[in-house]
Amino acid sequence: SGSEPMEVVLPQDLKQDAGLAKRRHAELCRQKRVFDARSRIIGGDTEAWNAQVHDQKIKEATERARQETFAAEMRQNDKITCILEDRERRDRKTLCRAINNFQQSFQRPETRREFDLSDPLALKKDLPARQSDNDIRNTISGMQKFMGEDLNFQERKKFQEEQNREWSLQQQREWERARASHRCAEDLHLQTRLRFDETAKHLQTLERTTRRAVCAAVKEFNRKQAEESMERKKQERKQEEEDNLAEISSLLHGDLLSENPQQAASSFGPHRVIPGRWKGMSREQLQQIRLTQKQQVLEKLRLQEEECQRDMDWDQQRVQKAREALLHERQRQRQQRDLRRALDDSNLSLAKEQKKHIDEVRRNQLTRDYFTQFNTRSR
């Protein structure tokens, strides 16, 4: 037959086409965002913002309408509440009036069973709290009778005054006895004091006599001690004079004043002396010391001449080394100048070659197709 064959569309093909279309649409949206200068600089989705603003306005209008509905319902409820409160107030007032009328008509105070508890004339009608001290109504819990509130208060008061007078007289008698006893005790104490004073006077007399005897004995003992001390000092002074004469004689005939050189010899060696006994060096020792000093001066002059000669040799060697170093430095500088000149020639030849290559490259002119290949995709 002349009919064309039907193309079979598989689910995989549909899936691939859908994915390809989705990617193309995403690419077009991305190119629109990238190539749009306004959205690229601001960096935001204007359509999404507009949609958000529109949704917010719708939400605010809905909330406003909802609040108005609630306000209308609240006003209606307030009106109903006011009407109900007025009705309740009138009903309460009517009920109170009816209750008062009923109480005044059928519930008088004197008709109550407990009227005697709140009767205003109950105190006038009631009996006194007690008629005598032996009244049967004076119970302990009733607290109608206390100490000092009995009916025979006057008789009891007279009896108490008589009793207080007797007690006062008894205290006066006891006070008189106590004063007499105190006077007796004072007299006895005075006599005892007089006896003690006589005894103390006698003891003072004995003590004075004993002190005189002790002072006389101490005076005699001190006199003997003073005589013994004077005699002992006289003997010590005599012995000291004899010792001084012996010491002076020993010094005059000894090695110290005679200046014997052997007395200054030390036990640590022949070349050491005792400073406290040494009287100075002899003439031969002084001549020997001066000769040694002259030899030391000549030796020092010889050493100085040798040191000067050694310093001159070192200076000559230092000058020779410096001259050699200067020549070596000049030779190194000449080598560096030669190397720098060779490097400059090499760089100049490379620059000429690069310039020649750049001139060859610049000969190719850029066409319009070169600039249209940029910014064709978003990536």
Mean residue pLDDT of the chain comes to: 83
pLDDT at 3: 45
Q: Kindly state whether residue 98 falls inside one of the protein's structural domains.
A: yes
Q: Kindly state whether residue 6 falls inside one of the protein's structural domains.
A: no
The CA–CA distances, whole Å, from 11 to 1, 15, 25, 215 equal 29, 6, 21, 155
Full residue range of the structural domain in which residue 53 is found: 11-103
Q: Which two tokens stand for residue 222?
A: 């001190």
**Average pLDDT over every residue of 309-316:** 92
Q: How confident is the model at residue 39 (pLDDT cuts 50, 70, 90)?
A: low
List of residues 6+ apart from 257 with CB closer than 8 A: 251
pLDDT at 374: 73
Q: Is the pLDDT of residue 264 over 70?
A: no
Cα dihedral across residues 352, 354, 360, 364: positive or negative:
negative
pLDDT at 84: 95
pLDDT at 89: 94
Q: What are the contacts of 35-40 at 24+ separation with CB within 8 A?
A: 35/375, 35/378
**Average pLDDT over every residue of 330-340:** 92
- Final residue in a domain of this structure, among 103, 131, 159: 103
203 or 131, greater pLDDT: 203
Q: Kindly state whether residue 230 falls inside one of the protein's structural domains.
A: no
120 or 145, greater pLDDT: 120
Taking a C-beta distance cutoff of 8 angstroms, is the pair 264, 273 a contact?
yes
Cα dihedral across residues 43, 46, 48, 54: positive or negative:
positive
Q: Is the pLDDT of residue 5 over 50?
A: no
In the chain, how many domains are there?
2
Q: Kindly state whether residue 121 falls inside one of the protein's structural domains.
A: no
Q: Kindly state whether residue 328 falls inside one of the protein's structural domains.
A: yes
List of residues 6+ apart from 279 with CB closer than 8 A: 259, 261, 264
Q: Is the pLDDT of residue 8 over 70?
A: no
pLDDT at 301: 93
Q: Could you report the per-residue pLDDT of 83-93, keeping only the tens digit for each?
A: 999 999 999 99
Q: Kindly state whether residue 168 falls inside one of the protein's structural domains.
A: no
Q: Kindly state whether residue 43 falls inside one of the protein's structural domains.
A: yes
Q: How confident is the model at residue 59 (pLDDT cuts 50, 70, 90)?
A: very high
pLDDT at 267: 66
Q: Kindly state whether residue 69 falls inside one of the protein's structural domains.
A: yes
Taking a C-beta distance cutoff of 8 angstroms, is the pair 277, 263 a contact?
yes
**Average pLDDT over every residue of 278-289:** 78
Q: What is the 3-state secondary structure (H, E, C) of 8-71?
A: CCCHHHHHHHHHHHHHHHHHHHHHHHHHCHHHHHHCCCHHHHHHHHHHHHHHHHHHHHHHHHHH
Taking a C-beta distance cutoff of 8 angstroms, is the pair 257, 249 a contact?
no
pLDDT at 162: 92
Q: How many angstroms separate the CA atoms of 340 and 319, rounded?
A: 32
Q: How confident is the model at residue 7 (pLDDT cuts 50, 70, 90)?
A: low
Instruction: Give percent of the chain above pLDDT 70.
Output: 84
Q: pTM of the entire structure?
A: 0.23
